[in-house]
């Protein structure tokens, strides 16, 4: 058995050296892959790891870069561009990349339309059960022509058929500012925007959940005695929370058939216009349905701050502590508190 062989197929040369373990195509080391098994597994793995969209960008970019490498290889040989292009159909067919023909080729306009039958990429896609063409070969020829013509060339697949009898792909190549780098950047930005949108949706959902919890927990209405309710106010108020407070207190008065409601502002550290407006609205609303509003928990410091700002709670009974307010409410209702054993 021969240990060394040279084969010439058209313009393409192949060389084997079994003793040294060498296999070369056009003077450079190459390796063989089974298309529908090994090569398919390789591409399947890339798609599984990166995702389908990312894999298409990866394959397109890899195709473009390998095309640039091929163009550099032939330019270094000193051949004219016309001669290189003329030899490529035979060379690529000999390498198992499919039967290539130039349907159109204009070096002046730097445009071309290629047809490729039975290329390896389409065979892999067919074995994967895909109906759309791959991106490697389009990117490859865009990179190859970009290098040979010294112009940014891009591509689009204008026709694609995959049948049991074979595959057919038509690729249009033309000058363009689009490059794999632009596609990668656009893809990354798209991925980032999707991530941002997902995070914004998560934040919005969480915010709505927290608002719901806050509404349920804030300003609870507590029945302390028959006919007397207490609502502690604390923290910061916005318009939504203010409206919610008014609605809850009025509904509680109706539900408990109460005639007095004590608003405990002990938890309010600083009085502002919105809180004052909320107090005025809720006390007026309470009076309109026939109940008595009482304010408790105004400390000397808070009273001085309110006075300095010109804030006065007119026509309201105000007490320093909740205890005093409760005693007043009980007395107003005709009752009083006594210790056990007292008459």
225 in Cβ contact with 231 (< 8 Å): no
Q: Is the sign of the CA dihedral 93, 96, 99, 102 positive or negative?
A: negative
Specify whether 174 is located in the same domain as 44.
yes
Residue 342 has pLDDT above 60, yes or no: no
pLDDT in tens, 9-19: 877 888 998 88
Q: For residues 332 and 317, is the Cβ–Cβ distance under 8 A?
A: no
Share of the chain above pLDDT 70, in %: 88
- Domain limits for position 263: 219-332
Please report whether residue 212 resides in a domain: no
242 and 154 in a common domain: no
> Is residue 108 over pLDDT 90?
yes
Question: Residue 146 — pLDDT band, cuts 50, 70, 90?
Answer: very high
**Is 343 part of any domain?**
no
* Of residues 103, 129, 126, 125, the one with CA closest to residue 114: 103
Long-range contacts of 88-91 (CB under 8 A, 24+ apart): 90/9, 90/10, 90/11, 90/12, 91/10, 91/11, 91/12, 91/26
The helix (run of H) or strand (run of E) holding residue 326 is helix 322-332
Question: What tokens were used for 244?
Answer: 């919610």
Average pLDDT of every residue of the chain: 85
For residue 301, name the pLDDT band (cuts at 50, 70, 90): confident
Residue pair 312/298 in contact by the 8 Å Cβ criterion: no
Q: pLDDT-based confidence at 72, cuts 50/70/90?
A: very high
Which of 116, 150, 178 is the C-terminal boundary of a domain? 178
User: Within this chain, do residues 169 and 298 fall inside the same structural domain, yes or no?
Assistant: no
Query: Is 288 domain-assigned?
Result: yes
Question: 186: pLDDT confidence band, cut at 50, 70 and 90?
Answer: low
**pLDDT band (50, 70, 90) for residue 112:** very high
In this model, does residue 285 exceed pLDDT 60?
yes
Higher-confidence residue of 6 and 196: namely 6
Tell me, yes or no, whether 173 and 295 share the same domain: no
Instruction: Find how far residue 279's CA is from the centre of its chain.
Output: 43
Strand partners of residue 13? 8
The verdict on pTM exceeding 0.85 is no
* 266, two tokens: 């002990």
Task: Say which residue, 308 or 97, is predicted with more confidence.
Answer: 97
**Within a domain: 87:** yes
Q: Is residue 187 part of a domain?
A: no
Identify which of 14-23, 165-174, 183-192 has the greatest average pLDDT: 165-174
Partners of 173 in the β-ladder: 112, 155
- Measured between alpha carbons, how far is 232 from 321 in angstroms, rounded to an integer? 12
The total number of structural domains in the chain stands at 3
Distance of alpha carbon 200 from alpha carbon 192, whole angstroms: 12
In the predicted model, is pLDDT for residue 213 greater than 90? no
- Reported as type and span, the H/E element at residue 138 is helix 136-149
**Cα Rg, the chain, nearest whole Å:** 41
Q: Comparing 183 with 87, which gets the higher pLDDT? A: 87
Read off the pLDDT band of 168 (50, 70, 90). very high
Bridge partners for 17 per DSSP: 4, 22
User: Are 7 and 111 members of one domain?
Assistant: no
199 falls within a domain: no
Mean pLDDT on 117-129: 93
On whether the CB atoms of residues 309 and 271 are closer than 8 A, the answer is yes
CATH code of the domain containing 42: 3.90.1520.10
Count Cβ neighbours within 10 Å for each residue of 278-287 and write b for 16 or more, e otherwise. bbeebbebbe
Assign residue 296 the CATH number of its domain: 3.30.750.24
235 lies in the same domain as 144: no
Distances (CA, A) of 1 to 7, 19, 20, 24: 16, 11, 14, 19
């Amino acid at each position: 058995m021969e240990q060394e062989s040279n084969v010439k197929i058209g313009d393409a040369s192949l060389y084997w050296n079994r003793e040294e373990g060498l296999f070369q195509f056009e003077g450079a080391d190459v390796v063989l892959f089974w298309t529908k098994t090994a090569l398919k597994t390789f591409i399947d793995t890339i798609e599984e790891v990166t995702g389908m969209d990312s894999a298409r960008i990866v394959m397109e970019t890899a195709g473009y870069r390998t095309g640039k490498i091929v163009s550099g290889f032939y330019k270094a040989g000193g051949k004219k561009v016309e001669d290189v292009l003329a030899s490529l159909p035979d060379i690529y067919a000999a390498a198992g990349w499919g039967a290539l023909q130039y349907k159109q080729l204009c070096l002046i306009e730097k445009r071309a339309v290629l047809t490729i039958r039975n290329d390896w990429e389409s065979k892999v896609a067919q074995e994967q059960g895909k109906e759309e063409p791959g991106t490697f070969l389009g990117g490859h020829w865009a990179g190859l022509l970009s290098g040979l013509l010294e112009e940014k060339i891009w591509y689009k697949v204008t026709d694609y058929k995959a049948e049991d009898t074979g595959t057919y792909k038509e690729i249009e190549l033309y000058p363009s500012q689009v490059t794999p780098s632009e596609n990668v950047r656009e893809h990354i930005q798209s991925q980032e925007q999707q991530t941002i949108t997902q995070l914004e949706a998560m934040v919005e959902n969480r915010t709505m959940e927290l608002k719901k919890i806050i509404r349920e927990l804030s300003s609870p209405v507590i029945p302390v005695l028959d006919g007397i309710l207490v609502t502690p106010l604390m923290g910061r108020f916005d318009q939504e929370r203010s409206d919610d407070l008014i609605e809850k207190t009025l509904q509680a008065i109706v539900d408990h058939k109460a005639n007095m409601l004590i608003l405990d502002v002990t938890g309010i550290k600083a009085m502002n216009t919105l809180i004052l407006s909320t107090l005025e609205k809720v006390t007026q609303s309470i009076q309109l349905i026939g109940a008595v509003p009482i304010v408790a928990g105004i400390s000397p410091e808070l009273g001085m701050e309110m006075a300095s700002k010109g804030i006065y709670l007119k026509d309201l009974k105000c007490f320093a502590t909740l205890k005093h307010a409760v005693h007043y409410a009980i007395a107003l209702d005709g009752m009083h508190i006594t210790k056990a054993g007292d008459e």
